[in-house]
C-alpha cells in the first residue's frame, strides 16, 4: 500500500524520476505492474468522483505511460516456455481511448510464461482473421466505455464460430465492469473481471481451465 500511495502522488505531481524509482524497487519481484495497475484504478476513481481535475488526471496518465514504457524497456526476460503456458489474445477495441491496463496485463501474463498478442484499436475483421488463422486459448477484451458493450455478445458468438480453437474462452475486463460478474451474464463471457479483482489471477484461473496438451494444438 505504501508503494501505491507513493506512486500515486509521484505521478499526480508528474515526478517521472521518483515514479520510476518507486517501481524499480519492486522490479525483481515482478510487483511493479500491479502497483501501476492499482494507481490507474485510483486515477479513474478520483476522476469519476471529481477529486482531481482534467489537467491533473491527464498529466498523471502521461507520466504513468512514460513509467510503463521505461519499465518495460528495462524489464527482465520472460522465463519459462511461452508456448507451453498457453496463448492469449488481448484487444482494446476501436473507439476506446485507454490501453494502460491492457498493456500492463499483457506484460504480467508474458512474465508468467504465456504467449500474448495485444491488439489496440484494430478493426473487428482483423481480429477475427487472427482468431481464424492462429490457435488462441483465450480471447480477452478491455472495455472502458459502456457504449462499447453494445453488440459484444454478437462479437463473442462470431469469435467462437470463427476461432481456430473451437473451445476458445472469452474474457472481459476494464473500468466499465463494476459489481458482481453475474450482472454481465448476458454477454456470454467465460470470465468477467470487475473492478477490485486481480486480472492476472483471474486470467491464470481461466487458463488453467483451458489447459490443452501442446501436442493436441493445431498450430
| Residue range 82-96, pLDDT digits in tens | 345 789 999 988 766
Residue 28's pLDDT is what?
55
Q: Residue 32 belongs to what domain range?
A: 2-74
Last residue of a domain, one of 53, 74, 95: 74
What is the model's pLDDT at position 161?
92
Asked if pLDDT for residue 156 goes beyond 60, the answer is: yes
How large is the average pLDDT for residues 27-50? Answer: 75
**Distance (Å, whole) CA 42 – CA 162:** 37
* Mean pLDDT along residues 209-213: 63
- Identify whether the C-beta of residue 114 lies closer than 8 Å to the C-beta of residue 207: yes
Contact by Cβ (8 Å): 135, 219: yes
Same domain, 68 and 94: no
Residues 179 and 131 in one domain: yes
Give pLDDT, residue 30.
56
Given CA atoms 163, 135, 79, 98 in this order, what sign does their dihedral have? Answer: negative
Which among 135, 112, 138 is positioned nearest to 193, based on CA atoms?
138
Domain shared by 91 and 67, yes or no: no
Arithmetic mean of pLDDT, 28-44: 73
Q: Is the pLDDT of residue 215 over 70?
A: no
> What is the distance between the alpha carbons of residues 89 and 139, in angstroms, rounded to a whole number?
5
Residue 71: is its pLDDT beyond 90?
no
Distance CA 136, CA 94 (A): 21
62 shares its domain with 103: no
pTM for the whole structure: 0.64
Most confident range (mean pLDDT) of 81-90, 126-135, 210-219 is 126-135
Sign of CA dihedral 90, 168, 134, 94: negative
Q: Residue 97's pLDDT is what?
A: 65
Whether residues 62 and 118 fall in one domain? no
- Could you tell me the CATH number of the domain that includes residue 19? 1.10.1240.10
pLDDT 10s digits, 95-107: 666 777 788 788 7
Instruction: Give the DSSP H or E segment for 135.
Output: none
Query: Which of 22, 48, 74 marks a domain boundary?
Result: 74
Top pLDDT among 195 and 29 is at: 195
State the total domains in the chain.
2
Shared domain check, 33 and 8: yes
Residue 159 shares a structural domain with residue 187: yes
Q: Are residues 110 and 177 in the same domain?
A: yes
Angle between helices 54-74 and 16-24 (to 10 degrees): 50
- Residue 162 confidence class, pLDDT cut points 50, 70, 90: very high
First to last CA, the chain: 43
Amino acid at each position: 500500500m505504501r508503494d501505491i500511495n507513493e506512486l500515486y502522488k509521484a505521478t499526480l505531481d508528474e515526478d517521472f524520476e521518483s515514479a520510476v524509482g518507486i517501481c524499480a524497487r519492486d522490479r525483481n519481484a515482478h510487483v511493479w505492474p500491479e502497483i501501476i495497475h492499482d494507481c490507474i484504478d485510483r486515477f479513474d476513481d478520483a476522476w469519476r468522483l471529481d477529486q482531481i481535475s482534467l489537467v491533473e488526471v491527464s498529466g498523471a496518465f502521461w507520466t504513468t505511460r512514460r513509467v510503463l514504457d521505461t519499465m518495460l524497456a528495462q524489464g527482465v526476460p520472460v522465463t519459462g516456455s511461452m508456448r507451453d503456458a498457453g496463448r492469449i489474445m488481448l484487444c482494446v477495441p476501436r473507439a476506446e481511448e485507454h490501453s494502460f491496463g491492457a498493456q500492463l496485463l499483457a506484460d504480467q501474463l508474458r512474465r508468467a510464461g504465456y504467449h500474448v498478442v495485444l491488439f489496440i484499436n484494430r478493426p473487428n475483421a482483423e481480429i477475427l482473421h487472427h482468431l481464424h488463422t492462429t490457435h488462441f486459448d483465450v480471447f480477452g477484451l478491455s472495455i472502458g466505455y459502456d457504449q462499447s458493450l453494445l453488440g459484444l455478445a454478437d462479437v463473442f458468438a462470431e469469435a467462437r464460430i470463427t476461432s481456430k480453437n473451437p473451445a476458445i474462452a472469452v474474457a472481459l475486463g476494464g473500468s466499465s465492469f463494476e459489481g458482481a460478474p453475474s450482472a454481465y451474464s448476458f454477454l456470454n463471457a467465460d470470465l468477467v473481471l470487475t473492478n477490485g479483482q486481480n486480472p492476472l489471477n483471474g486470467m491464470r484461473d481461466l487458463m488453467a481451465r483451458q489447459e490443452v496438451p501442446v501436442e493436441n494444438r493445431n498450430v
